[in-house]
Amino acid sequence: MKRFKKILKWTGITLVVIIAGVSIIAATRQNTKYEAPYPDIKASTDTAIIAKGRHLVLNVAHCVGCHSPANVDSIDFNKEDLPLTGGRLFDLPVGKIYSRNITPDKETGIGRYTDAEIARALYYGVHPDGTVVYDFMPFHNISKEDMTAIISYLRVQKPVKNKVPENTLNLVGNLVKAYMIKPVGPNGEIPAAVKKDTTAVYGKYLAMSVAECNGCHTERNLAGEFTGEPFGGGAPMDENNGFPALTPPNLTPDPTGRIYGWTQEMFINRFRQGKLIPYSPMHWSSFKHMTDDELKAIYNFLHTLKPVKTKERK
């Protein structure tokens, strides 16, 4: 009995020491600085390139959905340029994270940064100050042509001063950040340009690298790693404060898939209708403005996928 108590005591002391150690190391690791290359990207003043950037920012890459504090569903922002002042709160189990001010304000926005610093943050997940960018924006493989257009559009926006609150992580968040979060970068060489047509090749690029359809329609674990079959349906998304969770459906060409039997016209028309379930997290109000050709390309790509049976859920 005495011996047992002794073991218990030492286990307890060891545990306390380990926990203290882990927490101290976690604390010192909160502001780890990372190295990453500065991409060779320069904003252009060409109006055609800026117009392309606008289409990407508002519609296909839906930056506006996260970087505007407005309720984008209620606004036809294809007509209006909403200020991308950031500050939208993502209240996650690991803490509170805010989108940043990406208007050209020199004090609180991207006016402080060079084109290469902005491109580095998006391609390599490293903020201009060297800290990690939480991977909300997997645009790591977007073409240099499209990245140039995006930054060109951001540069000509009206600067708006808006200091976004600092992110605050809880204990779990600090541990996750210290030991699990690393900057995410491109896989392979960043393409200079991707041919814009209606092929599955372009559709794959749009769905995976620009519109991020796979981020929701493929199942992922809590660390964000893909665990399910590509486009076989996502995990239920329970972020709607009291509304029932919605599950991103299976988009593969399987009879149990949501778009099985849909013609290309039906697919395009569904997008033109925009958001039908008012609390859906899908960025319908952006995606509804994708061009017919972009939607055809995505449709064609989805039909090249391996058919996957929809997972039964209780």
Q: How far is the CB of 1 from ligand HEC (least distance, A)?
A: 53
Pairwise CA distance, residues 162 & 126, whole Å: 22
249 counts as binding ligand HEC under rule CB under 6 A: yes
C-alpha distances (whole Å) from 181 to each of 8, 152, 177 are 34, 30, 5
Pairwise CA distance, residues 249 & 227, whole Å: 15
C-alpha distances (whole Å) from 274 to each of 55, 59, 118, 280 are 16, 12, 31, 11
67 counts as binding ligand HEC under rule CB under 6 A: yes
Q: Cβ(297)–Cβ(199) under 8 Å?
A: yes
Half-sphere exposure of 251 (CA within 13 A, CB side): 21
Q: How far is the CB of 188 from ligand HEC (least distance, A)?
A: 20
Piece of the chain touching ligand HEC by CB under 6 A; list 31-39, 134-142, 178-186, 191-199: 134-142
Q: Which residues pair with 98 in a beta bridge?
A: 89
Q: How far is the CB of 15 from ligand HEC (least distance, A)?
A: 32
Indicate which single residue of 43, 49, 66, 194 sits in contact with ligand HEC (rule: CB under 6 A).
66
41 counts as binding ligand HEC under rule CB under 6 A: no
Indicate which single residue of 95, 228, 248, 253 sits in contact with ligand HEC (rule: CB under 6 A).
248
Q: How far is the CB of 23 from ligand HEC (least distance, A)?
A: 22
Nearer to ligand HEC, 26 or 105 (CB): 105
Pairwise CA distance, residues 167 & 96, whole Å: 6
Half-sphere exposure of 40 (CA within 13 A, CB side): 3
Burial class (CB in 10 A: 0-12, 13-18, 19+), 241: exposed
Task: Give strand ranges (E) for the chain.
Answer: 89-92, 95-98, 168-169
> 186 to 215, contacts with ligand HEC by CB under 6 A?
207, 211-213, 215
Size of the residue set binding ligand HEC (CB under 6 A): 47
Indicate which single residue of 39, 65, 69, 232 sits in contact with ligand HEC (rule: CB under 6 A).
65
What is the dihedral angle through the alpha carbons of 76, 52, 123, 102, rounded to the nearest 10 degrees?
A: -50
Pairwise CA distance, residues 85 & 87, whole Å: 7
What does the per-residue mask of binding to ligand HEC show for 13-32, with x meaning CB under 6 A? --------------------
> 88 to 107, contacts with ligand HEC by CB under 6 A?
90, 97, 99-100, 102
Piece of the chain touching ligand HEC by CB under 6 A; list 44-52, 65-73, 218-226, 304-312: 65-73
Name the site residues for ligand HEC (rule: CB under 6 A).
57, 61-63, 65-67, 90, 97, 99-100, 102, 110, 118, 121-122, 127-128, 133-134, 136-137, 139, 150, 167, 207, 211-213, 215-217, 237, 246, 248-249, 251, 258-259, 270, 277, 280-283, 287, 298
